[in-house]
Each structure stands twice: as structure tokens, then as C-alpha cells.
Amino acid sequence: METPLLYQIGLTLVPGIGDVNGKKLVLRFGSAEAVFKAPARELLAIPGIGPAVVKNIQNQKVLIRAEQEIQFLEKHGIRPLFFRDEAYPQRLLNCYDHPLLLYSKGNADLNHKRLIAFVGTRRATGYGRDRCRELIEGLREKEVLVVSGLAYGIDGCAHRTAVEMEIPTVGVLGHGLDRIYPAPHRKLAEEMLQKGGGLLTEFLSKTNPDRENFPKRNRIVAGMVDAVVVVESDKKGGALITAELANSYNRDVFAVPGRLSDRFSTGCNFLIKTNKAALVQSAADIGYVMGWEDRKIPDGRQTSLFVELSDTEKALYELLAEAGTLSIDKLTIQSGLAPSTVSAALLSLEFNGLVRSLPGKLYKVE
């Protein structure tokens, strides 16, 4: 049976396309189905699409596998999320390499108002686990949703603490939803689903948890959240890759400091030393930087403030008040104003004590 989903899944299976070119094709032709039915000459006119890719598209054998996947999704209650769907993680759309299609299990809101990821080494120490628990427990009142990768160590600790604190939590996987890896985390995954959390992946069923899948998994973790907290990490590892990706996506990055002699604090200390992460000692630190504190401006003061502001300053102030923290790039995009106009208005707002600049060209309401 031909459905939009059949072609959407099929497009992810076409050899040689990838996420970036796949989105380019969909935006050009209007839908995944239209891509499969487009004439060869029109496909070849798209930059990055050569004869080999066109041949793979017109072969259409991938649609057989796509039909099998649809049956799997229906049987197991898994929700497909195409990048143009409203339920697709909207923060992820700001990342140039976001997946064409995601598969979601559970009832978690992937566009929750406050999303934060906790990542770290698989060989977490007692110190790392304690800090992870303290931070998540402290964030409970901020109504966050916790994201991690369901791996051993810090990931598992983050998910487990969230479940215990009745905080929704989402595990992003580096394999298909026909399995849970590592297997001992099956019970934890079930508890996450029962408590309003979820599981998320870009991989089809029968996809093994191969090593090359996890950097792709990490980009989803980094891209779908507002902030990433690195709890413990060696000088190399997946947590540092996630932090690097988060920085490239203009996300806030925090790191828990540790003793110089502790191997699994080496990566965190490095991030702090090189200004790639803010030092975090408590949940209050995160709430302050992210603008998640409960601040209410009295109606009288708010009215008098806006009377003194220009339309441009008022628009930028309202964007910041709603989002908490935004980069100057995002403010420019969301406001539709020229970069020079945004910079001048922010300078005026900062001079008047209404906003504060943060490292990384970020701004928040004061």
C-alpha cells in the first residue's frame, strides 16, 4: 500500500543520499513520494545528486524494505517522525545534519519546554554518580525532561534517577527499536516508558548497535536539547564528542569539575579550562545560566519598561523572556531583523540592565 510514510522510509534507505541531500530533495520536490516519481533530468539538476544516486532512487527496491518496516512500527506502537512533522523535535531542526526520519516509542514530549542531556563515561565512579543524582534531583522543580543515551555509567544513572524522581526521560539509541542495548537496561527502558518517558532512534529495526552508529546517536542527543551536562569523562570518548557537537549547535554545555588526579574528570576539566563548558557545582548554576529561575516582573514595572523601549528592543526582550537564553544568531533569525540592528538593540538593553550577555554570544533576561 502506497502511503507518504512508505516513501519517507524508502528515501532514508536510498544508497548515497544521506540526510542533507535527502532534505534538499524533499524541499525541492515537495514530498518524499514526489522524489521517487521525479524525472531523472530533474533529479540530476539538484547539486550533490549524481547518476548513481538517481539510479538508486528509480530502482525503488528500497520500498520493499520500507513496507516491512511499516509493519514492524504498527505492530509495536512506534511513531515515525518525519522532519516536517509537528511532533519532530523542533530544536533538532536547527542542526544542519538532523535526521530525515526518527522513530519514537512512548509518550514523551520531544518538544518539552526544558530539555537537558546528561552524558558521561560508561565507567562512572561513585563521585560521578553522586553528582549526576544531585543535579537531576535539583532540577526536578524546573520541570525538565532528561535526555541521555541509555548506556552504562552516567547515562544509566541519569535515566534511573529521573525515573525515581518521576521526571520524564528519553533514551536516544544507536540501533533499532527491536532491541535494547545494553540488554541489562531492558527493565530500565520499560520503567522509562511507564513513567511518561520514551525511546528515540533514527535507525530501522534489525540495525545492530555498531560502533559507527553512536556518533550519529550523539548528534541527536546534543541537538534536541537546550543544554548538555558532561558529568564525567576521560580525555577522549563519546561524552566529549557530544559536548563538541552541542557547542557547534550553539547549545549550552556544562561540565562537573573533578580532581586533577581523577582519570574520569580529565575530559570535564579540559572542557572547563578551554572555555568549552561552564563549570557546574549545583542545579542552581544550571537554572541561573539557562534562565530557568522563577522570576516574575510586576505588571506595573513591565508596562513602564515597554513604554521606554523601542519596538525592536521590545521584540527582542520578549523573545528572550520566553526562551530564557538565546544566541545572537537565533535572535537574528527569530526576529527577522538585520544582525547590526539586533546587536545595537541588545547593547541598549544590556546598558539599561534588562538583559545580560553570557559566554558564547548568548543573552538572557536580567
Would you list the DSSP string of 111-131? T-S-EEEEEE-SS--HHHHHH
39 burial type by CB count under 10 A (0-12 exposed, 13-18 middle, 19+ buried)? exposed
Strands 278-279 and 169-172: unpaired
> Domains (ranges, CATH) in the chain?
1-76 (1.10.150), 106-290 (3.40.50.450), 299-365 (1.10.10.10)
* 350 contacts 309 by C-beta, under 8 angstroms: no
C-alpha dist (Å) from residue 209 to 57, 140, 212, 350, 355: 27, 31, 8, 48, 45
From start to end of the chain, where are the E strands?
79-82, 101-106, 115-120, 145-148, 169-172, 198-201, 227-232, 252-255, 278-279, 325-327, 355-358, 362-365
* 229 contacts 158 by C-beta, under 8 angstroms: no
Element (H, E) at 287: helix 283-290
Half-sphere exposure of residue 121: CA atoms within 13 angstroms, side-chain side: 21
Q: Which of 173, 138, 361, 335 is nearest to 252 (CA)?
A: 361
The per-residue pLDDT string of the chain (366 residues; one tens digit each, 9 = 90 and over) reads 679 999 999 999 999 999 999 999 999 999 999 999 999 999 999 998 999 999 999 888 899 999 999 999 999 999 999 999 999 999 999 898 999 999 999 999 999 999 999 999 999 999 999 999 999 999 999 999 999 999 999 999 999 999 999 999 999 999 999 999 999 999 999 999 999 999 999 999 999 999 999 999 999 999 999 999 999 999 888 899 999 999 999 899 999 998 888 888 999 999 999 999 999 999 999 998 888 876 544 444 443 444 478 889 889 999 998 888 888 888 888 888 887 788 888 888 888 888 888 766 788 887
Strands 79-82 and 169-172: unpaired
* 13 contacts 65 by C-beta, under 8 angstroms: yes
C-alpha dist (Å) from residue 48 to 23, 51, 56, 97: 12, 10, 14, 15
> 284 by DSSP, 3-state: which?
helix
Q: Which three cell numbers stand for residue 238?
A: 563519546
Please give the Cα distance from 193 to 107 (Å, whole number): 7
CA dihedral 173, 224, 166, 149 (to 10 degrees): 30
| DSSP tag of 143 | T
**Residue 327 backbone phi and psi in degrees, to 5:** -80, 160
pTM over 0.75: yes
Q: How many residues does the chain have?
A: 366
Please give the Cα distance from 63 to 353 (Å, whole number): 58
Neighbours of 129 (CB within 10 A): 20
